[in-house]
Amino acid sequence: MSIIEIGCCGAYCGTCPALMQRACKGCKLGYDRNERDLSKAKCAIKVCCIGNHFQSCADCSKYESCLTLNEFYRKRGFKYRKYKMATEYIRKSGYNAFLKVADTWSGPYGKY
């Protein structure tokens, strides 16, 4: 099962018009069918997540100690904190619970 609406970092792309119209491949589409080469990906989070066959970083046992992910979440900007909240919500409640909440949002993040 691939949850393409949830980015490796916790971004929710289910409301993105470009992804819905297949104008954007997001961070996951195409790797499972070898249409994209993971070795050419520039996002270290994506390379690690997909390379380890995780749906998102929420699945990783090294989540709390991951330097790459924690540096990403510490970036300036509200969205990075929201992506971290999403990942933590998934870790606590699971993907189905997250999607149930996220499918009510009008953007990449919202209220839980």
44-76 pLDDT, tens digit per residue, is 999 999 999 999 999 999 999 999 999 999 999
Does residue 2 belong to any structural domain of this protein?
no
Does residue 4 belong to any structural domain of this protein?
no
Contacts of 55 (CB under 8 A, 6+ apart): 1, 2, 3, 6, 95
Mean pLDDT on 90-111: 92
Quickly state the pLDDT bin for 99 (edges 50, 70, 90).
very high
pLDDT tens by residue, 1-49: 458 889 999 999 988 888 888 888 788 888 888 899 999 999 999 999 9
Does residue 85 belong to any structural domain of this protein?
yes
The pLDDT, as a whole number, for residue 1 is 41
Does residue 48 belong to any structural domain of this protein?
yes
Provide the domain limits for residue 53.
17-102
Does residue 27 belong to any structural domain of this protein?
yes
Does residue 109 belong to any structural domain of this protein?
no
Task: Check: pTM over 0.95? Answer yes or no.
Answer: no
Specify the higher pLDDT residue, 107 or 65: 65
Does residue 1 belong to any structural domain of this protein?
no
Domain total of the chain? 1
Specify whether the backbone of 43 is left (phi greater than 0), alpha (psi in -120 to 50) or beta.
beta
The pLDDT, as a whole number, for residue 14 is 87
